[in-house]
Structure 1
Amino acid sequence: MNTRPAGQDYIATLDLLRLAAALAVVLFHYFFRGAAAEGFLAECYPLAAPFALYGYLGVNLFFLISGFVIAWSAESRSWDQFAIARFVRLYPGFLFCMTITFAIVVLAGSPLLSASFSQYAANLSMFAPAFGQPFMDGVYWSIVLELVFYGWVTLALFTGLFQKRKLELIFVWLTISALNEFFLGSGAARLLFITEFGPFFAAGVLVHHIHAHGRSLPALLLLAAAFLISCGTLSVTRHWMQNHYGIAVSSANLVVANVVMHAALIGAVLLRHRVRPSALILALGGLTYPLYLLHQNIGYLAINAATPVVGKWFAAVGCVALMLFVSWAIWRSCERPAQRLLRIWLGRAVDIGLARFRRVSTEAQPAE
């Protein structure tokens, strides 16, 4: 769900890993969640559901990748450049996909789904629940956590702590995460410090630190701690799924899956020279963000509409293919041009604002 920083080599394997994470979430929604407790889909997929059940872990993999890429991006930018880059990366695609979802739900969602203009207006902020409205699509919750993570990285860059005290910051973050998830259980801390998923972000940052600066005992110990804490925090979602759906991935299998996810990120970095960058891989990486934002609610409506005509399997598989194509089209024809324009406009606006601030600060200083 992220871009690569300018001026550094493009790691094609990360885009492929990002696509795998997005597809895992899509399969989870189409072949398990859609027909589970909420009943979004009229037909269930008992043959695929035991495998699709693991797909929600694609979000955890996203957070791992995000930690790596955000650390990579932050090292080459000032705090204001980083903030602009992150906003430009997320908001245009979010706006396009959220608007498309709103339009389709209003036109064809009833009685399964509904949307209002007040909900749409609240979602423009990306923090709809803060305004008393639900997300336009349930997957947006993870975008909020990404934004909180970006906010902390921006603050760390602004204060200089990211450059000088990165490992110490991660130690404090992991300590807060462990204390809250295993002992305190504060919902406010879980949101403010992302304590449930913080170990995944932190592990990604640490993998980048080791990749960029070499192995050191503190970094390796912190990476091991992040992995162990993340094994524990995975139980939070496991208990929720058990209570909500009556089924969940076993604790042992979650540990195995966590090993696979961390190994996949490390492997993608180690094998970065084995996969040559290409326009196809760039497109596959680019479409993952629109795919993630678009697929759930629109997919449920499309599968329900197509199932009586072509059968449930053709409907679901065809919907996956359709979502891939539509997501690619949005990335290429809408998201990328909007990002270029917004990057230029915001860069100029911030430069003007900082110049005025410096001038006012200089004028306010007393004369010698």
Structure 2
Amino acid sequence: MRKFGWDVRPARRDYIATLDLLRLAAARAVVLFHYFFHGAAAEGFLGEGYPQAAPFGIHGYLGVNLFFLISGFVIARSAENRHGDQFAIARFVRLYPGFMICMTITFAIVLLAGTPLLPASFAQYAANLSMFAPAFGQPFVDGVYWSIVLELVFYGCVTLALFTGLFQRRKLELIFVWLAISALNEVFLGSGAARLLFITEFAPFFAAGVLVHHLHAHGRSPPALLLLAASFLISCGTLSVTQHWMQDRYGIAVSSANLVVANVVMHATLIGAVLLRHRVRSSALTPALGGLAYPLYLLHQNIGYLAINAATPLVGKWFAAFGCIALMLIVSWAIWSTCERPAQRLLRIWLGRAVDVGLARFRPTQGATQPAE
């Protein structure tokens, strides 16, 4: 009989250190995008821009796409041999403590700063505790949270597929349908509801990550390889959505040729990270580098803008930017090691017990008294 709720597992022997390094690279790419391009672009969050670095920094937003690729692989790996309730608890424990801690820190600093460019209110904070602030008519405390919502939608889809058994029995067929819906919506329909419910703009990246894991765990097969090729081709097309948005908003965007090259590099780095997993030895530092990537991603944008603006008159804009990056790395590591991990452990224990107690009520009572004959 299976144990309900949280399954306590030992540390994975097949831990892939290269994925943690790839997470950090993706997070740093997004940081460079915000500090060296986005901050001084249309919104004007930074008082002084970095025109010399902007042609390089503009590519950094693709770190989010790389995150989604990694997420597809990691989530497929996490879902292996897990039931839906176990998977849902594991992902909630992974995301929510770090989000709540970093969102609270960002809110407090932005509120104290009182800048009109970054308004903050307690109603906004309360709405952000749900992680779905726009559903309550409030903006995100930090603009990067939009991608966390898409991650949650993806987690919800995988949880549903686990509960129905489709993930275990019809994974490749499910991905085929998902990619077909995505291509149809992005090329012909343009439905905002479908873009949210099926994550159609970014589905090819999530799907590619799932397929890389499938090939890694179950061996090469023509259907999986064909689907991986299809997800790559569709992702080349969906990259144009953000490209057009940036052209309209900033008057500049990454060229189509560079996007294709970048897409090849992103897919190749994920595949390379898996293939070279035994070449990179794990150490005490490697999990820390991967662990700090999430707080770094959540914290860096609005707090970074405030810090760079405050430091620039004192030390110059370049020292302010790179000093801020170093400070964010240190603070993110401190949050991960002293706050996020202990909070995850406590939440894991509490939720595991709560789910066990709740689901145990539905178990048939063993040794129940038989009716007298």
TM, length-normalised to structure 1 = 0.96
1:248-268 Cα offsets, whole Å, 9 max, x none, are 000011000000000000000
**1:144 and 2:144 equivalent?**
no
Give, in angstroms, the shift of residue 23 of structure 1.
0.1
Partner of 1:325: 330
Contact kept, 8 Å, 1:5 with 1:76, in 2: the verdict is no
CA RMSD for the aligned pairs? 1.8
Work out which of the residue numbers 301, 304, 307 in structure 2 matches 1:302.
307
Partner of 1:202: 207
Partner of 1:266: 271
Give, in angstroms, the shift of residue 78 of structure 1.
1.2
**Paired AA for residue 175 in structure 1:** A
Contact kept, 8 Å, 1:231 with 1:258, in 2: the verdict is yes
Q: Any idea what SS the aligned residue of 1:357 has?
A: coil
**Paired AA for residue 194 in structure 1:** I
Distance 2:340 2:34 in 1: 24
Partner of 1:246: 251
Contact kept, 8 Å, 1:5 with 1:73, in 2: the verdict is no
Work out which of the residue numbers 93, 98, 108 in structure 2 matches 1:103.
108
Distance 2:157 2:107 in 1: 30
Q: Any idea what SS the aligned residue of 2:363 has?
A: helix
Work out which of the residue numbers 235, 238, 243 in structure 1 matches 2:240.
235
Give, in angstroms, the shift of residue 85 of structure 1.
0.4
Distance 1:244 1:203 in 2: 29
> 1:244/1:65 Cα in 2 relative to 1: closer, same or farther (>3 Å)?
same
Partner of 1:335: 340
**Correspondences of 1:211-222 after superposition (within 5 Å):** 211-222=216-227
1:118-145 Cα offsets, whole Å, 9 max, x none, are 0000000000000000000000000000
**Correspondences of 1:1-368 after superposition (within 5 Å):** 6-359=11-364
**Paired AA for residue 189 in structure 2:** L
**Paired AA for residue 203 in structure 1:** A
Distance 1:316 1:111 in 2: 22
Give, in angstroms, the shift of residue 278 of structure 1.
0.8
Partner of 2:3: none
Report how many aligned residue pairs link the two structures.
362
Structure 1: runs of 5+ lacking an equivalent: none
Distance 2:68 2:181 in 1: 18
Percent identical among aligned pairs is 87
Distance 1:173 1:84 in 2: 24
Distance 1:8 1:155 in 2: 28
**Paired AA for residue 250 in structure 2:** Y
TM, length-normalised to structure 2 = 0.95
Give, in angstroms, the shift of residue 8 of structure 1.
4.4
Give, in angstroms, the shift of residue 83 of structure 1.
0.4
Runs of 4+ in structure 1 deviating by more than 4 angstroms, as ranges, are: none
Q: Any idea what SS the aligned residue of 2:362 has?
A: helix
Give, in angstroms, the shift of residue 50 of structure 1.
0.2
Distance 1:341 1:331 in 2: 14
Q: Specify which structure has the higher proportion of helix.
A: 1
Q: Any idea what SS the aligned residue of 1:276 has?
A: coil
Structure 2: runs of 5+ lacking an equivalent: 1-8
Contact kept, 8 Å, 1:24 with 1:58, in 2: the verdict is yes
Give, in angstroms, the shift of residue 359 of structure 1.
4.8
1:174-228 Cα offsets, whole Å, 9 max, x none, are 0000000000000000000000000000000000000000000000000000000
Distance 1:292 1:281 in 2: 17
1:80-126 Cα offsets, whole Å, 9 max, x none, are 11000000000000000000000000101423311000000000000
